[in-house]
Amino acid sequence: MLEYGDYERPFCADAQPIVKEIQRHLGDDLLFAFRHFPLINLHPHCEHAAEAAEAAGAQETFGACTISFSKIGRALEGKDLVAYAGEFGLDETQLIREATSSVYALRIREDFKSGMRGGVNGTPALFINGECYDGAGGSKTFCLTL
C-alpha cells in the first residue's frame, strides 16, 4: 500500500485510522510506503512538516511523527515542530537544522512528482496493488475489502 499525503490536510488525518486498521489486519503481509504530496498553495506549513518528518526519519522516528503530524492538522508552525521533536525524544537541534535548510526538499519534490505521474490530484491518495483509491471523494474512497 502506498499513501500520498499532506500533513496539513484534515482528510489525511481522517484516513489514518483506516490506514492503521489495514496495517493491523494485514500485519507483515503488508508493505506500506508514505510519499509526501504537499499542497503548498492551500497549506502553508505542510512542506515544513514534511521536512521535519524526514528529519525525524533520519533519527528513526518517521512513522510516529507522520501519525502525529496528521492528527495535529494545523499546529505545524516552527515552534510546534520543535515541541514535537522534544515529545518524540529527538535531537531538536539536528531536526531544526535539517528541517529549515531544505535538506530533504529534493526527496519531497520527487515524491510529489511521482504522485503527479501516478495520477494523484489530491490527498490522501491510497494505492493498493497499483490501484488508486483517491481520498477526494466518490464511491471508491477507502472502500477496501480486507
Assign 110 a pLDDT band (cuts: 50, 70, 90). very high
Asked if the structure places residue 106 within a domain, the reply is yes
Sheet holding 131-134, edge to edge: 33-36, 2-5, 125-128, 131-134
118 has a pLDDT exceeding 60: yes
Assign 60 a pLDDT band (cuts: 50, 70, 90). confident
Asked if the structure places residue 73 within a domain, the reply is yes
Asked if the structure places residue 144 within a domain, the reply is no
Asked if the structure places residue 109 within a domain, the reply is yes
Q: What local confidence, expressed as pLDDT, does residue 140 receive?
A: 44
Q: What local confidence, expressed as pLDDT, does residue 145 receive?
A: 31
Asked if the structure places residue 128 within a domain, the reply is yes
Count up the domains in the chain and report the number.
1
Asked if the structure places residue 10 within a domain, the reply is yes
pLDDT tens by residue, 11-58: 888 888 888 888 889 999 999 899 999 998 888 888 888 888 888 888
Q: Is the pTM of this model over 0.85?
A: no
- Rounded CA-CA distance 7/107 in Å is 16
Q: What is the CATH number of the domain that holds 33?
A: 3.40.30.10
Q: What local confidence, expressed as pLDDT, does residue 141 receive?
A: 43
Asked if the structure places residue 143 within a domain, the reply is no
- Rounded CA-CA distance 33/88 in Å is 21
- Residue span of the structural domain in which 70 resides: 2-134
111 has a pLDDT exceeding 70: yes
Asked if the structure places residue 16 within a domain, the reply is yes
pLDDT tens by residue, 14-27: 888 888 888 889 99
